[in-house]
Chain A
Amino acid sequence: MQPDPSLAPTPAAPPARLPVAPAEPVLMVEHVDKSFGDNHVLRDFSLALHRGENVVVLGKSGSGKSVLIKCIIGLLLPDAGRITVLGQDVTGLGHQQMDELRARVGFLFQSNALYDSMTVRENLLFPLRRHWLRHRRAEEDALVREVLDDVGLAHTATLMPAELSGGMRKRIALARTLILRPDIILYDEPTTGLDPVTSREISHLIRAVQQKYNASALIISHDMSCVRLTADRVALLLDGRCYADGRYEELAASADPRIHEFFA
């Protein structure tokens, strides 16, 4: 990545590997407002995500979590505020720069959004080919095999999405975001609608991915077991604001009834 001067560590700072060193923020959401007509979904929402960190955004259904994540990836335009991804202001980018940025940010859709008319292999190769990352066929095969191995579905390359179960589709969708080796992955409710066992497997997968690729992740969820397994930090989205922000244990121990009801 191209280092933003303001984000570069000062020479005196200790090497980033030390556990105490604060990592650079890779994603900053600052005072974002977003409304649809009279429906004020986000009001003055702020959040930062640091390198190598998993942050879970917790919130009720309909509280605007998907809207937040779509603003981050540039599918929706915030009414006010600033969103900085990997040092670039998302709201001010042209098409070309936006595409370049999106190649480095993976997005796992709540509905998976696998292309029905393509096989699993074609689904995986679509982002690769469309981002002009030309590869030889052997390289493509190797990449497909690797990401399919990552998600534990090595044998599915020739199947159509309709032939997969819900959990498998979620994994393939994850593989499709992994194939570009993103620096940041945005997960929109990765475990919703899955049985507890599969849901736990997906949560472990998210952890494994973070470790293998050293990617940062913003995870949207209201599945508490997923939150516990994946979160380094939890942010609570309430009334369109970031109501609370802290480690899982801190929030779980909170006496505030509005926070407590999520952990009950």
Chain B
Amino acid sequence: MPNYPILAEAGGMAHFAGRFFRDGFRPRYEVSEWLYQCYVIGYQSLPLVGVTGFIMGIVLTLQSRPTMAQFGAESWIPAMVGLTIIREMGPIITALIFAGKIGSSIGAELGSMRVTEQIDAMEVSGTNPFKYLVVTRVLATTLMLPVLTLLADAIALYASYIGLNMRGVTTLALFVNNVLSRLAFGDVLPAFIKTFFFGFAVGLIGCYKGFYADKGTEGVGQAANSAVVVSSLVIFILDLVAVQLTGLLGLN
């Protein structure tokens, strides 16, 4: 049988995910470590997510203005930009930034712990390293990415409002009203739900790459690097799946 590395890799990750669901919900629960990871992961990416959200909002607004002006549809800008941000740009840009920042740091951290035998040391110290390191981090990323995305969305919308006011005058109330009037349940919920999957993917892939890092310092760099590459790719694939699914469910 021919040997396909990509299939072996996918199988390894699926197995890892299976172990997450098997081990993760059995005691003992590493609550304090999980809370700490939530804090670290959320807090670390806050500035970056805030800045990218702001730029995303302002750029989208300024870019769409000339086109919309041609059609005399400037009053539609808030609704259009709002939809774009909430449905697609907010989740995907935040997830990619998150993959770059957190995926790589998890990959490098666990990778260096593997290489220097710290993971084995945990094992002999009465600790299940899979629960202590992997489950806590995956749960933390799964939970923190949606929160960060909501934040990025809010900042991007506010930036869009600022962008509008750079060339014209709109009140905040009118802007908000404009955005909300075009926003349906079917726009918000699928976009929000998929961020959990993005967060899960970033955490799981980062941990997988780090947990099984090759020996040596090269292994650490490689774990960090491939954590980012693979999780970014998986984020796009999940996004595609999400679009298809919401289409099938008639939520589009």
User: A residues touching B (Cβ–Cβ < 8 Å)?
Assistant: 70, 73-75, 95, 99, 102-103, 105, 107, 109-117, 126-127, 130-132
Contacts and interface: CB of A to CB of B under 8 A. Distances in A.
A127 B112 contact: no
B14 interface: no
Contact of B124 (A73, A95, A110, A116): A73
A163 B165 CA distance: 53
Contacts of B128: 95
B125 A109 contact: no
A10 to B, nearest CB: 34
Nearest to A103: B126
Interface stretch (B77-85, B115-123, B173-181): B115-123
B230 to A, nearest CB: 24
Nearest to A115: B118
A131 B123 contact: no
Contacts of B109: 117
A130 B113 CA distance: 18
B116 A113 contact: yes
B127 interface: yes
B158 to A, nearest CB: 36
Interface in B48-76: none
Contacts, number: 48
A102 B121 contact: no
A109 B122 CA distance: 12
B117 A131 contact: no
A91 to B, nearest CB: 16
7 contacts: A75-B124, A113-B118, A113-B121, A116-B113, A127-B126, A130-B125, A131-B125
Contact of B126 (A73, A114, A131): A131
Contacts of B126: 99, 102-103, 127, 130-132
A114 B116 CA distance: 8
A113 B127 contact: no
Contacts of B120: 70, 75, 109, 113
B215 to A, nearest CB: 10
B121 A109 contact: yes
A127 B121 CA distance: 9
A109 B127 contact: no
A130 B118 CA distance: 14
Given A107-B124, A111-B116, A113-B118, 18 more contacts: A73-B124, A75-B120, A75-B124, A99-B126, A103-B126, A105-B124, A109-B117, A109-B120, A112-B116, A113-B116, A113-B117, A113-B120, A116-B112, A116-B116, A117-B109, A126-B122, A127-B126, A130-B122
B116 to A, nearest CB: 5
Contacts of A110: 117
B231 to A, nearest CB: 22
B125 A111 contact: no
Nearest to A66: B117
B7 to A, nearest CB: 21
Contacts of B118: 113-116
Nearest to B109: A117
A31 to B, nearest CB: 24
Contacts of B125: 102, 126-127, 130-131
A127 B120 CA distance: 12
A115 B124 CA distance: 13
A55 to B, nearest CB: 20
Give the interface centre of A73, A103, A113, A131 by most chain B CB atoms within 10 Å: A113
B124 A102 contact: yes
Contacts of A107: 121, 124
Interface in B117-148: 117-118, 120-128
A75 B118 CA distance: 13
A70 B113 CA distance: 17
Nearest to A180: B125
A73 B121 CA distance: 11
What 5 pairs across the A-B complex have the smallest Cβ distances? Answer: A113-B121, A127-B125, A113-B117, A131-B126, A99-B126
Contacts of A116: 112-113, 116, 118
Nearest to A117: B109
Contacts of A95: 128
A252 B81 CA distance: 83
A103 B123 CA distance: 11
A164 to B, nearest CB: 14
B112 A115 contact: no
A70 to B, nearest CB: 8
Nearest to B116: A111
